[in-house]
């Protein structure tokens, strides 16, 4: 085999409920992941030694060395199948998912690299086995492998697929002019909550209790009613993200005023996400948001879509 290419989607969190910080620095989550049609492509080819080339959206901000999550995932896979002739590979990542945007682009690339090398090396690992390896690389890697709509618990790596009807939802993503660091946003949430417990009038951030799945969101997803889903979108990290990136408030307000059924910050941000009633409304909203000058650029996507999968092998 001379090369394998895998395609992998970005993720949204339709609910992101965050518990208090754990001893290991992570936070227990309950989240509803949703994979959308914004894809990176990862190609692996046999090479003299492991290496990486990154092209496309934000490529200059992606580490092109052993810190890259795709290379770390490949090293972890190789360690898991030591007897399978796991030769060195050159990895080429074609990015469309923006970097540090709250859309799990780095985790997505790790997931695609696992799927592609599993094929190239004929390693024969199952999806649950790849998820186990992926979870050691990043909290969102397992979901990037699974795709669809799924409830995530723990750090986000313990997944249960959501039994939802075949409804396709139409989303508009508003990309921000800048990035947010995920650890910085979690830390800002912890600070906001600490301030609130010191002064109950200080902030409306949710309490740092154990997170719970939003039954109203799950019920809305079961009916496939976009208007109901739009009303139930929630993200405990949103206020923290807005506190670090105040321009997001204006973007969120603009999208709602332009007719979005719901709006929220994607994961730890700074991408803003808007739900539209159908494909036509999504197009209108995307055009209006672009014209309003409240973001760097927009994209229309739909979901759910499947997780990382091989698209060509030669």
Which residues are marked as active site? 11, 140
Residues of span 269-288 touching ligand C5P by CB under 6 A: none
> How do beta strands 158-161 and 169-175 pair?
unpaired
- 27 is a contact residue toward ligand C5P (CB under 6 A): yes
Least distance CB 68 / ligand C5P (angstroms): 13
- 29 is a contact residue toward ligand C5P (CB under 6 A): yes
Q: Is 198 helix (H, G, I), strand (E, B) or coil?
A: helix
Whole-angstrom distance, CA of residue 90 vs CA of residue 41: 14
- 186 is a contact residue toward ligand C5P (CB under 6 A): yes
- 98 is a contact residue toward ligand C5P (CB under 6 A): no
Q: Are 151 and 11 in contact (CB under 8 A)?
A: no
Whole-angstrom distance, CA of residue 134 vs CA of residue 158: 12
Q: Which is nearer to ligand C5P, 32 or 286 (CB)?
A: 32
Stretch that binds ligand C5P, among 85-93, 181-189, 283-291, 299-307 (CB under 6 A): 181-189
Least distance CB 189 / ligand C5P (angstroms): 9
- 138 is a contact residue toward ligand C5P (CB under 6 A): yes
Q: Which H or E run includes 284?
A: helix 279-292
Q: Which is nearer to ligand C5P, 50 or 140 (CB)?
A: 140
Stretch that binds ligand C5P, among 22-30, 56-64, 213-221, 278-286 (CB under 6 A): 22-30
Q: Which is nearer to ligand C5P, 136 or 312 (CB)?
A: 136
* Identified binder of ligand C5P from the candidate list 118, 139, 179, 235, rule CB under 6 A: 139
Stretch that binds ligand C5P, among 26-34, 56-64, 259-267, 275-283 (CB under 6 A): 26-34
Q: Which H or E run includes 127?
A: helix 127-135
- 155 is a contact residue toward ligand C5P (CB under 6 A): yes
Whole-angstrom distance, CA of residue 207 vs CA of residue 164: 29
Q: Which is nearer to ligand C5P, 110 or 164 (CB)?
A: 110
Whole-angstrom distance, CA of residue 43 vs CA of residue 28: 33
Size of interface with ligand C5P, in residues (CB under 6 A): 13
Q: Which is nearer to ligand C5P, 27 or 300 (CB)?
A: 27
Q: DSSP letter string over 11-38? A: EEEEEEEEEEEPTTS-EEEEEEEEEEEE
- 26 is a contact residue toward ligand C5P (CB under 6 A): yes
Give Cβ neighbours of residue 288 (< 8 Å, ≥ 6 apart). 258
Stretch that binds ligand C5P, among 21-29, 114-122, 161-169, 243-251 (CB under 6 A): 21-29
Q: Which is nearer to ligand C5P, 230 or 267 (CB)?
A: 267
Q: DSSP letter string over 56-77? A: ETTGGGS--STTSHHHHHHHHH
> How do beta strands 169-175 and 297-303 pair?
antiparallel
Least distance CB 306 / ligand C5P (angstroms): 21
Q: DSSP letter string over 76-138? A: HHHHH-TTS----EEEEEEE-SPTTSSS-HHHHHHHHHHHHHHHHTT----HHHHHHHHHTT-
Which candidate, 227, 236, 230, 263, places its Cα nearest to that of 248? 263
Q: Which is nearer to ligand C5P, 271 or 288 (CB)?
A: 271
- 182 is a contact residue toward ligand C5P (CB under 6 A): yes
Whole-angstrom distance, CA of residue 128 vs CA of residue 66: 25
Q: Are 283 and 164 in contact (CB under 8 A)?
A: no
Binding region for ligand C5P (CB under 6 A)? 25-27, 29, 107, 138-140, 155-156, 182-183, 186
């Amino acid at each position: 085999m001379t090369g394998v290419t895998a395609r992998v989607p970005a993720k949204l969190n339709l609910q992101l409920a965050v518990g208090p910080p754990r001893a290991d620095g992570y936070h227990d989550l309950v989240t509803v992941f949703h994979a959308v049609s914004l894809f990176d492509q990862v190609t692996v080819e046999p090479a003299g030694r492991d290496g990486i080339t990154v092209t496309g959206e934000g490529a200059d901000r992606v580490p092109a060395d052993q810190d890259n999550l795709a290379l770390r995932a490949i090293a972890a896979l190789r360690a898991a199948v030591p007897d399978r002739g796991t030769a060195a590979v050159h990895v080429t990542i074609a990015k469309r998912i923006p970097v540090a945007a709250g859309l799990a682009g780095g985790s997505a690339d790790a997931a695609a690299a696992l799927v592609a090398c599993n094929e190239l090396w004929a390693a024969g690992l199952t999806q649950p086995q790849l998820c186990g390896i992926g979870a050691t690389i990043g909290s969102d890697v397992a979901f990037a492998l699974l795709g669809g709509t799924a409830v995530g618990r723990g750090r986000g790596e313990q997944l249960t697929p959501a039994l939802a009807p075949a409804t396709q939802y139409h989303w508009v993503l508003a990309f921000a002019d800048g990035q947010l660091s995920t650890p910085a946003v979690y830390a800002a949430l912890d600070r906001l909550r600490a301030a609130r417990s010191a002064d109950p009038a200080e902030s409306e951030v949710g309490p740092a209790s154990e997170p719970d799945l939003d039954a109203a969101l799950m019920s809305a997803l079961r009916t496939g009613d976009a208007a109901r889903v739009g009303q139930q979108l929630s993200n405990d990290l949103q206020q923290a993200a807005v506190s670090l990136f105040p321009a997001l408030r204006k973007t969120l307000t603009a999208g709602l005023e332009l007719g979005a059924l719901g709006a929220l910050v994607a994961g730890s941000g700074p991408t803003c996400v808007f739900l539209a009633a159908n494909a036509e409304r999504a197009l209108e909203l995307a055009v209006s948001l672009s014209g309003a000058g409240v973001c760097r650029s927009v994209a229309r996507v739909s979901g759910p879509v499947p997780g990382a999968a091989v698209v060509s092998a030669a």
